[in-house]
Structure 1
Amino acid sequence: MRWNLDRPSGRPASGGSKVLGIGMACALFPVVVGLLVLLAWGLYYGFTRSPTASAGGLLVLCSLSGVARVVLQLRLLRRGVAVPGVVTRVDRKWMDGEVGGYWVYTSHVRFSVPGSEERTVKGPATEHTRVGDPCTVHYDPRRPSRAAVRETRGGLAGLIVFVALFVAATVWYVLWAVGGGRWSP
Structure 2
Amino acid sequence: MVRKALAALCLWVVLVALLGLAFWGYDYAANHAPALATAGALGATAVGAAVMIVRELPLYRRGVPAPGTVVSVSSRTSRGSMGVANTSHTATVRFRTPDGVQRTALCSCKRETKPGEPCVVYYDPTEPSRAGTRASLGALVGLAAFCAVTMAAALWCLVVFDRL
* Fold agreement, TM-score > 0.5: yes
Give me the TM-score of the superposition, normalised by structure 2.
0.60
Measured at CA, do residues 168 and 87 of structure 1 come closer, stay the same or move farther in structure 2, by a change above 3 Å? Answer: closer
Question: What whole-Å deviation, never above 9, does each CA across 1:4-35 have from its counterpart, x for those lacking one?
Answer: xxxxxxxxxxxxxxxxxxxxxxxxxxxxxxxx
How is 1:1-185 mapped onto 2 (pairs within 5 angstroms)?
Answer: 39-43=13-17, 49-50=29-30, 51=33, 52-93=35-76, 105-114=89-98, 117-123=101-107, 124-127=109-112, 129-131=114-116, 133-151=117-135, 156-157=137-138, 160-174=141-155, 176-177=157-158, 179=159, 182=162
User: Contact (CA 8 Å) 1:56, 1:174: kept in 2 or not?
Assistant: yes
Give me the TM-score of the superposition, normalised by structure 1.
0.55
| Percent identity of paired positions between Structure 1 and Structure 2 | 26
Question: What whole-Å deviation, never above 9, does each CA across 1:72-124 have from its counterpart, x for those lacking one?
Answer: 444322221111112222334566799x9897643211123455853211231
Choose between structure 1 and 2 for higher RCO, CA contacts under 8 A separated by at least 6 residues. Answer: 2
Q: CA RMSD of the aligned region, Å?
A: 4.1
Unaligned runs of 5+ in 1: 1-35
Measured at CA, do residues 146 and 43 of structure 1 come closer, stay the same or move farther in structure 2, by a change above 3 Å? Answer: farther
Count residues in correspondence. Answer: 143
Structure showing greater radius of gyration is: 1
The code of the aligned residue for 1:42 comes to: V
Q: Distance in 2 between the 1:73 and 1:136 partners?
A: 16
Measured at CA, do residues 104 and 64 of structure 1 come closer, stay the same or move farther in structure 2, by a change above 3 Å? Answer: closer
Q: Distance in 1 between the 2:156 and 2:145 partners?
A: 17
